[in-house]
Amino acid sequence: MSAHANLERRRQAIYGWLLLSPAAVLLTLFAFYPSIATLWSSLFSRGTRRRPSEFVGGENYTDLFADPTFWLVVKNNLLYAGVTIPVSIFIALSMALWANSKISARGFVRTAYFTPTVLPMIAAANLWLFFYTPGLGVLDQIGSVFGLPSVNWLGQPETALWAIIIVTIWKEAGFFMIFYLAALQTIPEDLKEAADIEGASRWTYTRRIVLPLLMPTTLFIAVNAIINSVKLIDHLFILTKGGPSDASKLILYYIWEMAFAFFDAPSAAAMTIMVIAVLGVVAAVQFFYLDRRTHYQ
Amino acid sequence: MTPSSFVKLDGVAKRWNGQLGVEGISLDIPEGSFTALLGPSGCGKSTTLRLLAGLELPDEGTISIDGKDVTTSAASDRNLSMVFQSYALFPHLSVAENVVFGLKVRRVSKKERQVKLHRALEITGLLGYERRKPGELSGGQRQRVALARAIVAGQRLCLMDEPLSNLDAKLRNAVRKDIKKLQRDLGITVVYVTHDQTEAMSMADTVVLMKDGHIQQIGSPDDLYSRPNNTFVAEFVGAPPMALIDATAFASVFDNSATVGIRAENIQIVPSGQGRLRCVVTESEFLGAETLIGLDHAGASGLCVLKPGLAMVAEGSEIDIDFQDESLHVFDADGQRLTG
């Protein structure tokens, strides 16, 4: 009996490992190994022809902490994330609630909202260049009708980051709306009817029933939005290149600059490690704390 | 307003894109009664209930509840509760939160909410389940949560839309009795939609049988069973349903009758040559206390006879049957009942 059970257990174990192995191989190759390699290289100095790289421990990190540009970039990115994430989620939810209700031309509204998502970020940035360009841009054209002075939205430190933020929100809200729309469609119609009979107003129904039931989606979207707030920098290349005077520089752009413009790979690696650490903490909070408070069907 | 019509529907009609929903629905429901809307799928019974609930608005006719015209009122203004077929429990809320949802919306004080919640859970036997989510309950328990939610506010009218159809047969019997008892004890008026005639016949004071959006017959279960208005009612009500025989199939004593109906319990098997019809046995179904023998005859449909105990008859064998004229139901060519 027990010999059979043992054999069965071993077979199950082998089966399990076989099922795991493709994912394990791919993750190791493309995620774990690069992360560890990055961590390793961040501990070495930048090698030149005269001075080969040597182990320096945390020196690259202390250098970064002493670099005012690094702190400016961190501040920019925090502001960027702090505005784009809640605003795009809020807009996505509002649009989804609207596009899910019984309105005419519902199909058109949905398609219209989704269009920015289909565009590549580079194309979207080029599009927005037409809005922002001083003199020729649509914003200035409209402004001039009302006699407003020309504004160089992308060219001055006070407005450059905000211009970038708006492009990101415009781009992301439609994408997130699709998830909300899908989630809204899984909420049975009779919950609304039951709430109606109980005398719940539209607002009460939305707040007490719909929003809690959308929480898993919101969580998923929030994770995506946070990742995007670090990852999505394509439009910087077209619109501002991080300028003027680093006013719109985000952390990933700075990492790219370090690695491929200043050829300082160890500093770039150190920054990458810090980004990974921060994202890791955020993910842990989301999955261990928020997940427990979320209702999954 | 007399107590004899607590809920009143008068000539109510609802159509969708020209297609028939329900037509000419007139109903008087006395307070404290149990009314079942019965009929096959798509007959408009659920539509009637939704019109009553205010989830749909009628194209024609008026609806009044407790003497108040509510034809165009919102569902929440009609002072009624409803149990949905799917129960429509809020999946993210606990049992207690589900039950008091309506009270909270109506800003009932916390203390009163607790008292009412406790009472509703006590009645439905759900004490101890307050903190569970609907997903952690069995089908029968969810059903009781839906019931508790319907009775907690103490509304005098409760609408039920096939509340038992998601339960297994055994549980259905038990809950059926619970609902009936609940309705009696609380003295509430229940309008109950079902496609299961056993449910309707066993629970209701008044059964409203519908077909294709029209009411076929309103009456007590006994009325529907013993005095069916037409051949549809005759064939729908009863298990086994009434057999219909072409009047020309045997020497009839009725004038201008097209069809006669007879219930299985009124048919006797007689020795060969002494019966009024000779039939071929098509099947024998052992039901426990009796055996149901299906019969085939050229001029009849649904003919069968009950024999006590286990009494299987070989398929294909011929037997003669007899019946008394008094036990026949007579219908005209349009299927309408002719005599009392």
Please provide the DSSP assignment of A7-18 as one string: HHHHHHHHHHHH
Q: Which tokens is A152 given?
A: 């160089």
Check CB contact of A284 with chain B, cutoff 8 Å: no
Please provide the DSSP assignment of B202-219 as one string: HH-SEEEEEETTEEEEEE
Chain B CA closest to residue A200: B105
Chain B: closest CA distance from residue A293 (Å): 10
Q: What is the pLDDT of residues A117-168, one digit of tens each?
A: 888 888 888 888 888 887 777 777 888 788 777 777 778 888 888 888 988 8
pLDDT for position B192: 92
Residues 6 or more apart in contact with residue A76 via CB below 8 angstroms: A161, A246, A247, A248, A249, A250, A251
Write out chain A residues lying below 8 Å of B88, CB-based.
188, 190-191, 193-194
Q: Return the domain boundaries, chain A.
A: 67-293
| Exposed / middle / buried, residue B13 (Cβ in 10 Å: 0-12, 13-18, 19+) | middle
Q: Residue B206 — pLDDT band, cuts 50, 70, 90?
A: very high
DSSP-assigned letter for residue A82: H
DSSP-assigned letter for residue A90: H
Q: Determine whether the interchain pair B55/A196 forms a contact, defined as Cβ–Cβ distance below 8 Å.
A: yes
Chain B CA closest to residue A195: B102
Which candidate in B90, B113, B133 is best for mutational testing of the A interface (most A CBs within 10 A)? B90
Q: Determine whether the interchain pair B92/A194 forms a contact, defined as Cβ–Cβ distance below 8 Å.
A: no
Task: Specify whether the CB–CB gap between A178 and A117 falls below 8 A.
Answer: yes
Q: To 5 degrees, how large is the angle CA B193–CA B197–CA B198?
A: 110
Q: Residue B1 — pLDDT band, cuts 50, 70, 90?
A: very low
The CATH class, in words, for A67-293 is: mainly alpha
Cα of B11 vs its chain's centroid, Å: 21
Tell me the C-alpha distance between A203 and A217, whole Å.
20
Residues 158-217 of A with CB under 8 A from B: 188, 190-191, 193-201, 204, 208-209, 212-213, 215
To which H or E segment does residue B189 belong? strand B189-194
Per-residue pLDDT of chain A (297 residues; tens, 9 = 90+): 578 888 999 999 999 999 999 999 999 999 899 999 988 888 888 877 777 777 887 888 888 888 888 899 999 999 999 999 999 999 999 988 888 877 777 778 878 888 888 888 888 888 888 888 877 777 778 887 887 777 777 788 888 888 889 888 988 888 898 899 889 988 888 898 889 888 888 888 988 899 989 988 888 898 888 888 888 888 888 888 877 888 888 888 989 988 888 888 888 888 899 998 988 888 888 778 777 777 665
Chain A: closest CA distance from residue B65 (Å): 15
Chain A: closest CA distance from residue B55 (Å): 7
Q: Is the ipTM of this complex over 0.90?
A: no
Chain B: closest CA distance from residue A196 (Å): 6
Chain B CA closest to residue A190: B88
Please identify which residue in the block is written with the tokens 């800003």.
Answer: B107
Phi, psi of B38 (to 5 degrees): -120, 145
The amino acid occupying position B116 is K
Lowest mean pLDDT: which of A41-55, B199-213, B291-305?
A41-55
Tell me the C-alpha distance between A178 and A111, whole Å.
10
* Mean pLDDT, all residues of chain B: 86
Chain B CA closest to residue A199: B76
Check CB contact of B47 with chain A, cutoff 8 Å: no
pLDDT for position B2: 46
Chain B: closest CA distance from residue A194 (Å): 6
Tell whether the torsion through CA atoms of A204, A208, A209 and A213 is positive or negative.
Answer: positive
Phi, psi of B14 (to 5 degrees): -145, 125
Tell me the C-alpha distance between B327 and A238, whole Å.
92
B63 DSSP β-pair partners: B9
To which H or E segment does residue A131 belong? helix A121-132
Q: What is the pLDDT of residues B306-334, one digit of tens each?
A: 888 888 888 888 888 888 888 888 888 88
Q: Which of B149, B78, B153, B79 has its CA nearest to residue B112?
A: B153
The percent of chain B in helix, strand and coil, each rounded to the nearest 5, is: 30, 30, 40
Q: Determine whether the interchain pair B91/A297 forms a contact, defined as Cβ–Cβ distance below 8 Å.
A: yes
Full strand arrangement of the beta sheet holding B34-38? B80-83, B157-161, B189-194, B34-38, B206-211, B214-219
What b/e sequence results for B96-105 when a residue is b if at least 16 CB atoms lie within 10 Å of its CB, and e otherwise? bbbbbbbbeb
Q: Which of B56, B57, B54, B71 has its CA nearest to residue B8?
A: B71
Q: Quick one: how many helices (H) and strands (E) in chain A?
A: 15, 0
Is B230 strand, coil or helix? Answer: strand
Check CB contact of B286 with chain A, cutoff 8 Å: no
For the segment(s) B7-233, the CATH number from 3.40.50.1390, 3.30.390.30, 3.40.50.300, 3.40.50.450 is 3.40.50.300
Q: What is the pLDDT of residues B71-100, one digit of tens each?
A: 888 888 888 899 998 888 998 899 999 999
Check CB contact of A295 with chain B, cutoff 8 Å: yes
pLDDT for position A296: 67
First vs last C-alpha separation in chain A: 40
Phi, psi of A32 (to 5 degrees): -70, -50
Cα pseudo-dihedral A274, A275, A277, A280, rounded to 10: 180
Q: Determine whether the interchain pair A297/B106 forms a contact, defined as Cβ–Cβ distance below 8 Å.
A: no
Q: Determine whether the interchain pair B88/A193 forms a contact, defined as Cβ–Cβ distance below 8 Å.
A: yes
Tell me the C-alpha distance between B80 and B65, whole Å.
9
pLDDT for position A124: 85
DSSP-assigned letter for residue A245: T
Please identify which residue in the block is written with the tokens 């009302």.
Answer: A146
Strand pairing report for B277-286 and B290-296: antiparallel
Check CB contact of A43 with chain B, cutoff 8 Å: no
Of B86, B102, B133, the CB nearest to A199: B102
Tell me the C-alpha distance between B317 and B300, whole Å.
17
Chain A CA closest to residue B88: A191
Of A193, A200, A297, the CB nearest to B105: A200
Q: What is the pLDDT of residues B43-57, one digit of tens each?
A: 888 889 989 988 888
Chain A: closest CA distance from residue B192 (Å): 16
Q: Return the domain boundaries, chain B.
A: 7-233, 240-331
Chain A CA closest to residue B75: A197
Full strand arrangement of the beta sheet holding B19-29? B19-29, B7-16, B60-65, B68-69
Tell me the C-alpha distance between B134 and B175, whole Å.
18
Q: Determine whether the interchain pair A198/B101 forms a contact, defined as Cβ–Cβ distance below 8 Å.
A: yes
Q: Determine whether the interchain pair B105/A204 forms a contact, defined as Cβ–Cβ distance below 8 Å.
A: yes
Chain A: closest CA distance from residue B138 (Å): 15
Write out chain A residues lying below 8 Å of B106, CB-based.
198-199
Q: Residue B253 — pLDDT band, cuts 50, 70, 90?
A: low
Tell me the C-alpha distance between B119 and B129, whole Å.
13
Chain B: closest CA distance from residue A114 (Å): 30
Q: Determine whether the interchain pair B105/A199 forms a contact, defined as Cβ–Cβ distance below 8 Å.
A: yes
Task: Specify whether the CB–CB gap between A132 and A139 falls below 8 A.
Answer: yes
Write out chain B residues lying below 8 Å of A208, CB-based.
90, 101
Task: Specify whether the CB–CB gap between B215 and B28 falls below 8 A.
Answer: no
Q: Determine whether the interchain pair B76/A200 forms a contact, defined as Cβ–Cβ distance below 8 Å.
A: yes
Tell me the C-alpha distance between B114 and B97, whole Å.
11
Greatest extent of chain A over all pairs of C-alpha atoms, in Å: 91
Q: Which tokens is B320 given?
A: 């003669």
Please identify which residue in the block is written with the tokens 């005419």.
Answer: A104
Q: Which of A219, A239, A217 has its CA nearest to residue A171?
A: A239
Of A190, A197, A208, the CB nearest to B86: A190
Q: Which of B204, B175, B148, B239 has its CA nearest to residue B36?
A: B204
Chain B: closest CA distance from residue A197 (Å): 5
Q: Determine whether the interchain pair B74/A200 forms a contact, defined as Cβ–Cβ distance below 8 Å.
A: no
DSSP-assigned letter for residue A149: P
The architecture in CATH of the region B240-331 reads Beta Barrel (2.40)
Whole-Å CA distances, B234 to A279, B23, B240: 71, 22, 10
Whole-Å CA distances, B74 to A187, B46, B53, B54, B303: 22, 18, 9, 6, 49
Q: What is the pLDDT of residues B3-35, one digit of tens each?
A: 468 888 888 888 887 677 888 889 899 988 999
Chain A: closest CA distance from residue B102 (Å): 5
Check CB contact of A8 with chain B, cutoff 8 Å: no
Of B55, B105, B135, the CB nearest to A198: B105
Of A188, A208, A297, the CB nearest to B86: A188
Q: Determine whether the interchain pair B90/A209 forms a contact, defined as Cβ–Cβ distance below 8 Å.
A: yes
Strand pairing report for B243-246 and B300-301: antiparallel
